[in-house]
Amino acid sequence: MKKKVGKPPHKPTPATRQTVQLHTTVGTDQETLSRVLGITEKTLRKYYREELDISSAKANAVIGGALFNKAKNGDTAAMIFWLKTKAGFRERQEHDHRSSDRSMSPPTTIQIVAGGNSKD
């Protein structure tokens, strides 16, 4: 019986786990990260699922916390960003297309709507 010849199975180490955490935290995509480690994307997901899931969430929490603190400390840009992304605020612009002397004002439209058969 012949033995299989090929790559030995991947064995995660504390160093490779730290590498995955670091790269995931800064946003390295899985294709690049698997190439850094010399493994396939499938192997990356198989052995490092926890690091892939948690590291990104931790990074978002750190950055979100920093943004929140800036907003609390009076940073107007941070406040606006937070309100737009988290509280549903949005900006609305209205344009006045009239000329200053009103010679090019849009026409006024009057709409008459007939009422029901009410007796006054």
What's the sign of the alpha-carbon dihedral 69, 72, 73, 78?
positive
> Helix H segments across the chain?
14-25, 30-37, 41-72, 76-86
Per-residue confidence (pLDDT) for residue 114, from 0 to 100: 65
The mean predicted confidence, pLDDT, of the chain is: 86
Per-residue confidence (pLDDT) for residue 8, from 0 to 100: 86
Per-residue confidence (pLDDT) for residue 101, from 0 to 100: 78
Q: Is pLDDT of 87 > 80?
A: yes
Quote the Cα angle for 50-56-61, to 5°.
120
- Domain residue spans in the chain? 14-86
pTM: 0.58
pLDDT interval class at 115 (50, 70, 90)? low
Mean pLDDT of 62-74: 95
